[in-house]
Structure 1
Amino acid sequence: MKIRPFAVEEWMNAYETGAAYNIAETCVSSISVDELFALTGANKREFLDAFCARRLTYGDIQGAPAFKRGVCKLYRTIAPEDLVTTHGAAGANHHLFYSLIEPGDRVVTVMPTYQQLYSIPESYGADVKIMRLKPENRYLPDLEELKGLVVPGTKMICLNNPNNPSGALMNTELLEQIAAIARSVGAWIVCDEVYRHLTQTDEWQESIADLYEKGISVSSMSKTFSLAGLRLGWIATRDRSALKACLSHRDYNLISCGMFDEALAAVALAHGDALLARNRAIVRANLAILDEWVAGQPHVRYVKPVAGTTALLHYDLDMPSYEFCEKMYRQTGAFVTPGDCFAEPYSLRIGYACDAATLKAGLAAVSEFLASYEESHSTPRS
């Protein structure tokens, strides 16, 4: 099977560990196990004593009940039997395409988004149709364009909400309109929701799995709950045919998730409100920092994010994004992601959910690089 190189992951792998100011990271500032217990108020000693007494079997093959109950609290209509546990959201996305997509199937997906959502179905021989999300539409889907792509026989529509890299957020009305389009042809909607609930306001953010009978939600413990090291995710859907296919294929490549991962995730989700309060405070305070910085940059513009942890910044310098980001990294230590990783030229993605000190220092380094470029180039790109 041939597949395109995973641009954003290859970039992160190459440069992340040596960065002085990592403002490419997309998780909300990660926490330790000690911090998890401090934030939740759970008894660490009791937890460790009970866990250390357990035999390290495969555990609950279809997911630890306490973990699955915690996941259900993130939805309105999802029950434990509606979940398939996976190795991260990346594992969930891959598993869905592996389970549901065959050569020739029509798959409609948005761009920019996480590359899994178009490169994996493409590698399976799907007929992948791309719908570009445009800044003039605040990176939200154009419904008329979508209707033109979703023809009879379309198998799947792929969304990302909140969107990575733009931070756009589809509201309930828009999701329901997309669901109506999918319903007209009997298509699944797969929605990567790993940044769900990281909003700038307190309103409940709906999931496609609750709104649409063939909606499939993908998420994980990584972004919203700052626990990427658990490598734990899930698929949530009320569609029995999708569940049956996922569970059948799961026997071939997943078997079960880690017992320790699921046990810690259950602790986090049992006290999810505390973690969400912490992480929403971070993204709200840090977006204000980023917004003030953008306002002071003559060569940078953006569509201000509504949710999530990332922003897509466009610049007017005559330098391709890979060259821009690598030169800046070498010169200042500031680490961001080239927009070309998302087929968005002359732009860069910033992850603004790190600790505030790192964000401020990283943005100052970007300012330094922009100033040095301006000194050496008198005419910006038009």
Structure 2
Amino acid sequence: MNINPFAVEEWMNAYETGALYNIAETCVDSISLDELFSLSGTDKESFLSRLCSRRLTYGAIEGSPELKNGIASLYRTIKPDEIVPTHGAAGANHHVFYSLINPGDTVISIMPSYQQLYSIPASLGARVKIMHLKKENGYLPDIDELKRLAEGGVKMICLNNPNNPAGALIPQEILEKAAAIAQSCHAYLLVDEVYRHLTQDEEWQPSIVDLYEKGISTSSMSKVFSLAGIRLGWIATHDKEALKQMWSHRDYNLISCGMIDDAIASLALSAKEKILERNKKIIRENLAILDDWIQKEPHISYVKPHAGTTALVYYDFPVDSYTLCRQMYETCGAFVTPGDCFNEPHSMRIGYAADKDTLIKGLHAMSTFFRSLEAGKAGSSRPSEA
């Protein structure tokens, strides 16, 4: 299988561990098991004693009842038997394409978005049509353009809601119109919902599976629940034929997600209100900090995110984004993601859901770097952490 290099993940792999101020991270500030026990009101010794006494088998092959009931509670109409556990949302997206897309199928995807949504179907031999989201339209799908792209038939339409990297939130009205287009073609509508629930207000964010029978939702415990370390995600859909194919293909590459990951995810889902309360507080306070910083910086601009953990920030310096982000990393320790990873030149993706101190120090370091660019003397020495 030939596939394009995964630009954003290759960038993260190369630089993340050495970052002084990591504001490229897309998870809400990660929690430890101790913090999870505290948030959930769980007795640590009792939980660990039960876990340590279990024999390390494959566990529940299709996911434990506790896990699947917890995932189902995040939707309005999904039942536990309509959920396929996977290795993270990355595993979920890959598994959907691996199970349902064949050479010659037509797939419509968006850009900017997570690269899996267009590079994987292309690698499987699908004909991929790209719908470019526009800054002036708030990075929302253009329904008229989607309708034109779907003319002649389509096997699957792919969206990302909330959007990574721009933080746009597709309203229910647009989702329903996209579903109507998919329905007219008997197409699947895959929506990567890995940031779902991380909104800037308390309004319920609908899932595509609660709006369309052939809708497919992918998500995980990583972003919303701050538990990327357990590598547990899922696929949810009402479509019986899709479920049949995904369960069949799962036997070839997954077997199970691991009983320890399952147990930790189940505990977190049982305390979802507490975790969501914590994480919404973080993203709302931190977005206000980011927004205030952007208003004061003369060389940058953005469309303020409505949801998620990331913002796509544009700059007017005469340098490509890989060069700018690498120089900034090397001279001041601030780590962000080049916009060219998303085919958005002269921009960068900032992850604003880190701990508040890291965000503030990282933005301050960026300002210092921008002043050096203004003066034409970007340095080469890297500061030590304050």
Shorter-chain-normalised TM-score: which range? over 0.9
Q: Distance in 2 between matches of 1:55 and 1:240?
A: 33
Q: Does 2:27 match 1:23?
A: no
Q: Distance in 1 between matches of 2:331 and 2:46?
A: 49
Q: Distance in 2 between matches of 1:11 and 1:229?
A: 19
Deviation of residue 157 (structure 1)?
A: 0.3
Structure 2 residue aligned with 1:380: none
Q: Does 2:185 match 1:185?
A: yes
Structure 2 residue aligned with 1:154: 154
The one-character-per-residue Cα deviations of 1:303-328 (angstroms, maximum 9, x if unpaired) are: 00000000000001100000000001
Query: Is the partner of 2:217 in helix, strand or coil?
Result: strand
Aligned length: 377
Structure 2 residue aligned with 1:366: 366
The one-character-per-residue Cα deviations of 1:215-262 (angstroms, maximum 9, x if unpaired) are: 000000000000000000000000001100000000000000110001
Q: Distance in 1 between matches of 2:229 and 2:376?
A: 43
AA matched with 1:115: Q
Query: Is the partner of 2:226 in helix, strand or coil?
Result: coil
Matches within 5 A, 1:19-168: 19-168=19-168
Q: Distance in 1 between matches of 2:54 and 2:355?
A: 36
AA matched with 2:271: H
Q: Distance in 2 between matches of 1:150 and 1:62?
A: 35
Matches within 5 A, 1:215-364: 215-364=215-364
Q: Distance in 2 between matches of 1:194 and 1:156?
A: 19
The one-character-per-residue Cα deviations of 1:185-214 (angstroms, maximum 9, x if unpaired) are: 111000000000000000110000111000
AA matched with 1:155: K
Query: Is the partner of 1:162 in helix, strand or coil?
Result: coil
Q: Distance in 1 between matches of 2:258 and 2:284?
A: 33
Misfit runs of 4+, over 6 Å: none
Q: Distance in 1 between matches of 2:102 and 2:276?
A: 38
The one-character-per-residue Cα deviations of 1:302-357 (angstroms, maximum 9, x if unpaired) are: 00000000000000110000000000101100000000000000000000000000
Once the two structures are aligned, what percentage of the paired residues are identical? Answer: 66
Q: Distance in 1 between matches of 2:304 and 2:253?
A: 40
AA matched with 1:59: G
The one-character-per-residue Cα deviations of 1:39-80 (angstroms, maximum 9, x if unpaired) are: 111222221111111111111100111011100110000011
Deviation of residue 152 (structure 1)?
A: 3.6
Query: Is the partner of 1:154 in helix, strand or coil?
Result: coil
AA matched with 1:119: S
Query: Is the partner of 2:155 in helix, strand or coil?
Result: strand
Q: Distance in 2 between matches of 1:59 and 1:43?
A: 23
Deviation of residue 151 (structure 1)?
A: 2.3
The one-character-per-residue Cα deviations of 1:2-58 (angstroms, maximum 9, x if unpaired) are: 100000000000000111000000000000000100111122222111111111111
Q: Distance in 2 between matches of 1:160 and 1:230?
A: 22
AA matched with 1:279: N
Q: Distance in 2 between matches of 1:59 and 1:36?
A: 22
Q: Distance in 2 between matches of 1:74 and 1:56?
A: 29
The one-character-per-residue Cα deviations of 1:70-95 (angstroms, maximum 9, x if unpaired) are: 00110000011000000000000000
Q: Distance in 2 between matches of 1:105 and 1:366?
A: 44
Query: Is the partner of 1:90 in helix, strand or coil?
Result: helix
Structure 1 runs not aligned, ≥5 long: 378-382
Deviation of residue 361 (structure 1)?
A: 0.4
Q: Distance in 2 between matches of 1:285 and 1:43?
A: 30
Deviation of residue 295 (structure 1)?
A: 0.1
AA matched with 1:35: E
Q: Distance in 1 between matches of 2:49 and 2:205?
A: 37
Q: Distance in 1 between matches of 2:132 and 2:183?
A: 22
CA RMSD of aligned residues (A): 0.7
Structure 2 runs not aligned, ≥5 long: 378-386
Deviation of residue 153 (structure 1)?
A: 2.8
Q: Distance in 2 between matches of 1:332 and 1:84?
A: 43
Give the alignment's TM-score, normalised by structure 1.
0.98
Query: Is the partner of 1:349 in helix, strand or coil?
Result: strand
Q: Distance in 2 between matches of 1:47 and 1:187?
A: 44
